[in-house]
Structure 1
């Protein structure tokens, strides 16, 4: 029996449900998964709790425990859901190859790793450090993104591809940051961690080490090693990185402009 497609909706969650319903109709082999992941849920938070549990859990008991943890976090802190929506909107605005929000939710592992890490960060702030570290380990093994649970990450963050991203203890990252695969951000021998400003673009393989500050709307070129602070609006490239351009009006994370002067 053929089912009609639902009408187009305007809110983000309604759009996701619309897309999932269409997939269930067009590809019946995926219908059960669309219901389990999306259509059985009333909101993004419970859907994310399910997706995180499936990605990180082992047996059914593990998945149930992780689902409860995530559900509790989203219920107790509605800001987590608001941030998840901003994170989801980021690739829609910045990645021209992204077909829609359902694709981000189901197939962008950088997005899912980020949301799971936000749950781990909440546990860390509550003093549940062992549980937070366990989640970090599972995220790293399952999604190949390692973010220490102490890390503070602003809203609207876009982790593209995700594989090999490693962010160490104490790092602080601002809003609207974009990073590609293989990015490493961590402390030095004194364990002093970097601070990343708002709207920064970290290209593939960029490495930022030590107590440096990356200014708002800066750009770190692919494969660069940064051990010095980078002023706002500037581009740093090379090993070791050097400044090659400063543009006060630059917005590299928003337009994903990886070109170098």
Structure 2
């Protein structure tokens, strides 16, 4: 009597078994999924951000030292978080694309850059609005401010480099190298208030420590952060879909899309 367990697994089934974990790396699979997520991300982001701003500007208590000027924190801090995490994500996907040659990784790296640049600009702009009444100056060459300005220049340099190279493959590899090298600046931003004597205050929220702010302030900050993150993810996915259509133009699956066929 022969057991079926002795028969080798067909190669096609072995390849298919790995498909669930990798199938979303295919642009043809990822494109419609991103399209379904976009309306939900925009709706959730708008609701969370609106709730956070109402709570933060309307109900959170006035700070004992900074007065109402501190309320810019509800936009400033989430923008700072997004600008740093997005750059790390851009460097990560650039490295993945560089090592494994996956097309979608390079596309995602490119789609992340404008959102990160806008978040870095928002962080600097709101920081200037906060610094004027607090420090008496719009700008100081503080370690954290300077390193965030460098982050904005890295984003802009990445975008310019991608636009200057006509060959997409060469542009992707050059952009990935710049993103990976520039990622060294992110820990400098985060630890700058600990490494140097700066005007910028330390972290308000730390892992493993109780937050140094009132519950209403913390709730408003977290709501605004989640709302801006939903917006950031939606903007990246929307831009990524456009890049996918541009680079995959001419493929059968693109030609069959209703928005392309129309």
Q: Is TM more than 0.5 here?
A: no
Greater helix fraction, Structure 1 or Structure 2: 2
Structure index of larger Rg = 2
Greater strand fraction, Structure 1 or Structure 2: 1
Question: Greater relative contact order: 1 or 2 (C-alpha under 8 angstroms, separation 6 or more)?
Answer: 2
TM-score norm. by structure 1 comes to 0.24
TM-score norm. by structure 2 comes to 0.24
